[in-house]
């Protein structure tokens, strides 16, 4: 039977602070199938109670000696020990490894100290693995930078969560609010603002359903509907007066028909290719939500003239153009001619990326070589739009490695473009060459 014990060695107190334990708890949560134990001292002002509240065991140490710690190791027989303490140094770690040769050791570091460990973790965004040359054994795995940053669940929730506005009519004659919520609970990181009124005959049942679900906020007789729509990412509504309001607020939506007098609106929505369910169906709703949430890649050759013009405006914007190899503004005629030429080119493809029907950026694949299984890539976000780099990069990797089944993605990045280089490194790209003022970055497909 595989040993799944992981032993964390860290302290907290009024003078040490609580940061070590808090980040260790985040790391521990990533090992859901392991048995987590903390070895810590009982200092004044410690937060050992946080460890217990998280459901993990605590082993108290009398002091910081290796002798004391070895007793815990002998008792718990961990496969991995995580060291997160400034009071434990290279010599301590080496003695620990010598006494326990089969033990894997992970050491936290953020000050570029010498370590004797199997894995070194510096999760600060500024971490530079090159600075650890000569400070760790040659076999040591380096985990440095934003890719490994340990974030508490509350931050991940805020980054990933999507807020949904639901209105099935003040009276909810169809009584499908709970059915909709049952589908939504299958999706991670969705928060719901559900609006209804005291005219809802199923209100008590609805109140009972939501009372233990902190991801649902029930609004009864609200006079702040517009505000709730404004802070939402998309909506599920009936094709009625509320849909007119959602449409005005430019909120992506799924409409569910609940009455015969909505037929005219339903026909309009279908004709104009909006998402509409002619009756509630959990499978159809689940698929519609998934399609609404996932980014859409629209091939440049399929763009409308307006979208083609929009993309050109982005590309010619000073904040984008300064990072292009060709820094001159491109005329519309040349832009349209190039897009038209893509119809006959199999070695390149350009996409406009939309999230919930909102354009957020462009990704491209050029010099696609299926024989050598590689391609050059490019990426830029809508000017002045922040926070979408990760999503665009995920789409590049997914299309390149899953759709095209490539083994290598390559990008040329200006050395001075710190944000771009940081993004590439976050996703595992390595610098393989330098040419003048450019870094040549490559990502290998680890699944090939």
Per-residue pLDDT of the chain (448 residues; tens, 9 = 90+): 466 899 999 999 988 888 899 999 999 988 888 999 999 999 999 999 999 999 999 999 999 999 999 999 999 999 999 999 999 999 999 999 999 999 999 999 999 999 999 999 998 878 888 999 999 999 999 999 877 888 765 555 445 568 899 999 877 778 899 999 999 988 777 889 999 999 888 899 999 999 989 899 999 999 999 999 998 989 999 998 889 999 999 888 999 999 888 999 999 999 988 999 999 999 999 988 888 877 889 999 999 999 999 999 999 999 999 999 888 999 999 999 999 999 999 999 999 998 867 899 999 999 999 999 999 999 999 998 877 888 898 889 989 998 899 999 999 999 999 889 888 988 889 999 998 889 999 999 876 6
Pick left, alpha or beta for residue 273 (phi over 0 → left; psi -120 to 50 → alpha; otherwise beta). Answer: left
Structure tokens at 159: 């980054």
155-293: CATH homologous superfamily? Glycogen Phosphorylase B; (3.40.50.2000)
CATH class for the domain made up of 296-444: alpha beta
Q: CA–CA distance from 284 to each of 96, 168, 235, 270, 290 (Å)?
A: 57, 17, 16, 15, 10
20 flagged as catalytic: yes
Q: Where in the chain is the domain with CATH 3.40.50.11190?
A: 5-150
387: which 2 tokens?
């926070």
Per annotation, catalytic residue among 20, 115, 123, 335:
20
User: Does the 5-150 domain belong in CATH 1.10.10.10?
Assistant: no
Distance CA 54, CA 398 (A): 34
178 vs 188: CA distance, rounded Å: 17
**Which single residue is written with the structure tokens 């830029």?**
380
């Amino acid at each position: 039977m595989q040993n799944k014990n992981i032993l964390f060695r860290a302290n907290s107190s009024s003078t040490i602070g609580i940061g070590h334990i808090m980040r260790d708890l985040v790391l521990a949560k990533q090992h859901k199938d392991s048995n987590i134990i903390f070895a810590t001292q009982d200092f004044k002002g410690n937060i050992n109670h946080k460890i217990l509240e998280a459901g993990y065991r605590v082993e108290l140490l009398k002091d910081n000696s290796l002798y004391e710690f070895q007793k815990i190791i002998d008792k718990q027989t961990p496969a991995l020990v995580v060291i997160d303490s400034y009071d434990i140094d290279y010599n301590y770690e080496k003695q620990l490894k010598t006494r326990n040769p089969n033990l894997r050791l992970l050491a936290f570091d953020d000050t570029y100290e010498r370590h004797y460990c199997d894995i070194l973790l510096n999760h600060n965004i500024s971490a530079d693995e090159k600075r650890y040359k000569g400070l760790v054994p040659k076999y040591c795995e380096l985990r440095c930078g934003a890719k490994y940053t340990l974030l508490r669940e509350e931050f991940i929730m805020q980054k990933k969560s999507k807020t949904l506005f639901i209105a099935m009519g003040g009276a909810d004659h169809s009584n499908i609010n709970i059915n909709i919520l049952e589908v939504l609970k299958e999706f991670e990181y969705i928060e719901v603002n559900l609006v209804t009124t005291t005219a809802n005959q199923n209100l008590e049942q609805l109140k009972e359903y939501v009372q233990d679900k902190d991801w649902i906020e029930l609004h009864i007789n609200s006079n702040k509907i517009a505000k709730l729509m404004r802070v939402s990412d998309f909506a599920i509504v009936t094709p009625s007066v509320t849909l007119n309001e959602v449409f005005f607020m430019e909120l992506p939506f799924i409409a569910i028909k609940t009455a015969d007098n909505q037929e005219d609106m339903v026909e309009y929505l279908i004709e104009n290719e909006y998402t509409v369910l002619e009756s509630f169906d959990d499978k159809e709703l689940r698929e519609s939500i998934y399609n609404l949430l996932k980014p859409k890649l629209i091939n440049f050759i399929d763009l409308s003239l307006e979208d083609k013009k929009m993309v050109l405006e982005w590309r010619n914007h000073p904040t984008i153009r300064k990072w292009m190899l060709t820094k001159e503004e491109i005329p519309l005629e040349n832009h349209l001619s190039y897009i038209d030429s893509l119809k006959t080119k199999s070695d390149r493809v350009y996409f406009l990326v939309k999230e919930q029907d909102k354009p957020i950026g462009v990704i491209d694949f050029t010099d696609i070589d299926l024989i050598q299984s590689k391609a050059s890539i490019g990426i830029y976000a809508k000017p002045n739009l922040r926070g979408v780099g990760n999503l665009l990069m995920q789409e590049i990797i997914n299309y390149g490695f899953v759709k095209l089944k490539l083994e290598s993605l390559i990008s040329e990045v200006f050395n001075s473009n710190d944000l771009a280089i940081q993004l590439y490194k976050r996703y595992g790209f390595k610098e393989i060459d330098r040419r003048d003022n450019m870094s040549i970055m490559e990502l290998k497909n680890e699944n090939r």
